[in-house]
Amino acid sequence: MFHSVKELLEITEKRNIPISEVMIEQEMEIHNRTRDEIIAQMDKNLTVMEQAVERGIKEEVKSVSGLTGGDGKKLYNYIQTNDTLAGPLLLDAVAKAMATNEVNAAMGTICATPTAGSAGVVPGVLFSLKDKLKPEREDMIRFLFTSGAFGFVVANNASISGAAGGCQAEVGSAAGMAAAAAVEMAGGTPKQSAEAMAITLKNMLGLVCDPVAGLVEVPCVKRNAAGASNAIVSADLALAGIESRIPADEVIDAMYRIGQSMPSALRETAEGGLAATPTGRRLQKEIFGSKPR
């Protein structure tokens, strides 16, 4: 088993196998299940992600509160008919990330990667790469195992909870996971995956969790958009041979320490940040009367 990115890379180097394979074998060991069973479960997760993406970009998904819905579809349609500034692949990832998170806000079925509030980043990046890289189903499943390997390290050495570490621990972790997996799918090395993870997470350190009215909607949906775009840019940086001056494990540790030093008002309590703005308070009262749920 591995507990750090360093240990993960040492295994890949010693055995000359990809990160996804290390994670598959670890899941088999932890859960005492066969390879076929582990693969089948991840295949189901992939199907859930795919259905959420499709629903979010094709249907008028709206949350019960009315705070979010339809923006993923709006951006997806914009890409089809406009010469966009950011380019089709990056915006496709953003649209699908937002769409997935809107499905979550509307009480739809999603796959938490690593949390419900950050559930759009990994599938957004994965399904944006589908048309470009033409992966087989197995490659897409391996993408999820690779992202899971980095999520495993973060969860065991820092946090993936907004209440514990702010949104850096949720969307930040998800973006790092997606960047690392994108590198492997694009043919990069395990070390480059680690560099992509480090670069991504560095760019999201200090991100607070300040949900308006205590709901996982605003600013969560658009933070998934930022996370997906960050992941793709960071993956390209790593694939170009650019390295993070701070190793991934140390970046993860820094995120943990930053999360510990955040005031509770900025850790999912809806007492600070955007939730405490005049508009944030007004929306809270309109939805719940006085207090966030």
**Residue 151 vs residues 4, 85, 175, 238: alpha-carbon distances, Å:** 11, 31, 10, 18
What is the token pair recorded at 38?
Answer: 């582990």
pLDDT of residue 289: 87
Q: Kindly report, residue by residue over 154-181, the tens digit of the pLDDT.
A: 999 999 999 999 999 999 999 999 999 9
Handedness of CA 177, 178, 184, 185 (dihedral sign): positive
- Specify the CATH architecture of the domain 5-288: Orthogonal Bundle (1.10)
pLDDT of residue 290: 61
Determine if the pTM surpasses 0.95. yes
H/E segment holding residue 171: helix 171-185
| Token pair 């820092």: residue | 158
pLDDT along the chain (293 residues), means of 10: 97 98 97 98 98 97 97 98 97 98 98 97 98 97 98 98 98 98 98 98 98 98 98 98 98 98 98 98 92 50
pLDDT of residue 291: 55
Q: Kindly report, residue by residue over 6-18, the tens digit of the pLDDT.
A: 999 999 999 999 9
**Residue 260 vs residues 140, 161, 175, 257: alpha-carbon distances, Å:** 35, 12, 20, 5
N-term to C-term CA, the chain: 40
Q: What is the DSSP letter of 267?
A: B
**CB distance 231 to 176 below 8 Å:** yes
Distance CA(213)–CA(235), nearest Å, equals 34
